[in-house]
Amino acid sequence: MGDNPLSIHVVNKMGYEEFIKSFGNVVEHCSLCAAAVWRERPFRDAENLASCFGDFIDRLPISGKEGILRLHPDLAGRLAQAGQLTSESTREQASAGLNTMTEEERQRMTNLNKRYTQKFGFPFVICARENKKDAILRGLGERLENAPQTEAITGANEVKKICRLRLLDLVKPDSQLNSPL
């Protein structure tokens, strides 16, 4: 949870500019999602807000899902090594142990990421907070075998998990529309 989690009442009173400022990166570099989801207010609670983002992503055509995936940085890629990830990605990649890989593991990850991007035209995305580096390396190898359409949907489902966890950091989980909290 973040330092000052918001109550759902505060969220529901936000104008769209404030809403986009608060939630514009729950889907990495894609403030369009927050800009679209604002119209669904009032939200019941943090989980309902997360479902609205998830439903928006689900409704996108395959080309839109691919577009969202293309806004994600490679895991343990060049941006990570240069310290240029968003603060959210930095924390998530560290939680999976990706910042403490051996040189050999990093090389394997780089090679697999390259093959993945060449095959699909978008980067490999997985919810790093729900996986450790071994599971991520294994997942990368396995998902390389998937068909492109399957993989766009699998990646979008991982984006939804990342988005939900980011939202639960920002909004008090026990704050509800019909209670004073």
Ligand X SMILES: NC(=O)N[C@H]1NC(=O)NC1=O
Decide whether 49 or 163 has the Cβ nearer to ligand X: 163
Q: Interaction with ligand X in 125-164: which residues (CB under 6 A)?
A: 125-129, 162
72 among known catalytic residues: yes
Q: Which of 115, 107, 108, 78 is nearest to 93 (CA)?
A: 78
Q: Say how far apart CA 33 and CA 40 lie, in whole Å.
A: 12
Sequence-separated (6 or more) residues with CB below 8 Å from residue 58? 156, 160
> Of the residues 72, 143, 160, 164, which is catalytic?
72
Number of residues binding to ligand X, judged by CB under 6 A: 15
Q: Interaction with ligand X in 25-64: which residues (CB under 6 A)?
A: 28
- The minimum distance between CB 99 and ligand X, in angstroms, equals 12
Integer CA distances (angstroms), 50 to 33, 37, 85, 170, in order: 11, 10, 23, 11
Q: Interaction with ligand X in 71-110: which residues (CB under 6 A)?
A: 72-75, 89, 92
Query: Which residues of this protein are in contact with ligand X, per CB under 6 A?
Result: 28, 72-75, 89, 92, 123-129, 162
